[in-house]
A and B are shown apart, each in its own frame.
Chain A
């Protein structure tokens, strides 16, 4: 590799390591606070506010019942909780499935012409009168204490939105197990960003807002099919306070095939890039706190950093494979002679630094596991995550960057 390529990698590795160190310091700073938070949340509230949860559906005949039932099972005063199931012009039997719920006191069902998720949400918003508003994707299920826990944070009058911890529902195959690791990382980072006042996503599944937020700042926008990101950025731009309720658990069904995962991540990354561009005035401004000065720039750089570093790794791996193939072609396949000599361990600076950055990632994953599951468990999912994710992530990251530059629209499904 040329000197310049080396230097670029060192810069990216330094930045990545810096971000990891920063997050870990935040974690150690806030560990005790997190525990007292959990205890406080368990005590619950004296007066429960009224809440409406919207469930926008488009062709979700298979999963929407489970979603609605999980809402009905919420540990929350039934007279204070309303559930709106909104069919956004489905072409399957979703509307028929929704009929099952029309006689439940808490549930209202609606049907409208297809217009996209944000139109379904705004449609729901126009009919809501409760104190708090939440949204739940039709392929997600809530833990029964999720709402109760989130609501506690609204006791602070300044809090405008509360985000949950999102976990993968019963991962079975390798693709789902990789995401389980990834989502655990997400739970950790979201909590840390919450402490920094720097969350830039209010996840679709079960983020709760004060209704006045929509009155003051408007409803959902199309936002490149990532309206949950845009809403968070809009609130941040208006200096609204948001926190993460790490004890509010939501389960979401993960894409179970590589192609579906790729499409989803492409949409997310493209959405982030486009929303970041729309909100570029937040970048590097002290006014917007840690979000503007550090988190948004870091999240943006990490896209290119991941592409470059992982791309270089894949390139080197490909080159080694190519050499092995030439060797096998020349002399045939032999049993490798195992002759371990410490001499051959790669001790170039890049290898040592990469190993350290990798260790940082592993540390964060272990810490996030402890947060999400309460214990640290070693499993094959970690192995799959490191092996496979490193190869596939650069692909959708690159494609998202390409799409942003050349304005190729991404599809929802």
Chain B
């Protein structure tokens, strides 16, 4: 039994604990940086994809719409990017400079995609299936969290639906121009689709009513699923 105090052991323990803490700090920073790099890589890929589509669109000015490759892969990438960006914003805070830069880049990509989709739809005489959503990260938008859940849910239900979300207060001229053009007031959450603006919380049903194409898609989905389950065996 020790009656003396072994100061060396106290020191060793401190050093080991400090090393563990230091390692944890290093690991945490390392993974944080990797995550930012991951987001940047996704953004670069999307940027290339959009440029590719734009170029394709220019080349095929006189061609038919079947030649234009499907844009649905881009929807998945945009959704993934948005989810990761939101996760990073929640972790690092909305005022983090990295987050701000990433959001600006992302908003620009969204606008480019929005313009491109509208052009394609016009040319191919289809109605563009998209929703433009304005939110804010300060405390003035109480329903923004719920609206986020609604839109995420709709994305999962309808893979062809593009939801373009913009932080109303983002300091970038393209977003502010978008707001001015569509005359969106500072009453958030705000949803712009098919030429009309809806202010305040919109539930899944509200949005299905506002975008009749979604309702049609939902009906088609229900028809095929009920057909499958109602086959009788003799």
Contact = CB atoms under 8 A, between A and B. Distances in A.
Contacts of B31: 345, 347
6 contacts: A195-B1, A196-B2, A326-B145, A327-B149, A337-B156, A343-B84
Among A326, A341, A343, chain B packs the most CB atoms within 10 A around the CB of A343
A348 interface: yes
B14 interface: yes
A204 to B, nearest CB: 22
Interface string B7-49: 0011011101100110011011001100100100000000000
Give the contact-size bracket for chain B.
Answer: 20 to 34
Interface in A216-252: 241, 243
A60 B12 CA distance: 49
B153 A334 contact: yes
Contacts of A289: 2-5
A290 B5 contact: yes
Contacts of B146: 326, 330
B204 interface: yes
Interface in B95-153: 145-146, 149-150, 152-153
Nearest to B1: A197
Among B28, B38, B203, chain A packs the most CB atoms within 10 A around the CB of B28
A290 B13 contact: no
Contact of B27 (A194, A293, A352): A352
Interface of B: 1-5, 9-10, 12-14, 16-17, 20-21, 24-25, 27-28, 31-32, 35, 38, 84, 87, 91, 145-146, 149-150, 152-153, 156, 203-204
Interface in A335-385: 337, 341, 343-349, 351-353, 356
A98 to B, nearest CB: 38
A14 B21 CA distance: 8
B82 to A, nearest CB: 13
A406 B170 CA distance: 51
Q: Is the interface of A mostly helix, strand, loop or mixed?
A: helix
A356 B25 CA distance: 12
A343 B149 contact: no
A241 B28 contact: no
A17 interface: yes
Interface in A256-298: 286, 289-290, 293-294
A26 B9 contact: yes
A348 B20 CA distance: 15
Interface residues of A, number: 38
B203 to A, nearest CB: 7
A331 interface: yes
A130 B6 CA distance: 37
Interface in A15-30: 17-18, 21-22, 25-26, 29
A327 B31 CA distance: 29
Among A29, A195, A289, chain B packs the most CB atoms within 10 A around the CB of A289
Given A25-B13, A343-B35, A344-B87, A352 B204 contact: no
A81 to B, nearest CB: 26
B28 A22 contact: no
B87 A286 contact: no
Contact of B20 (A326, A337, A356): A356
Contacts of A327: 149
B35 A347 contact: yes
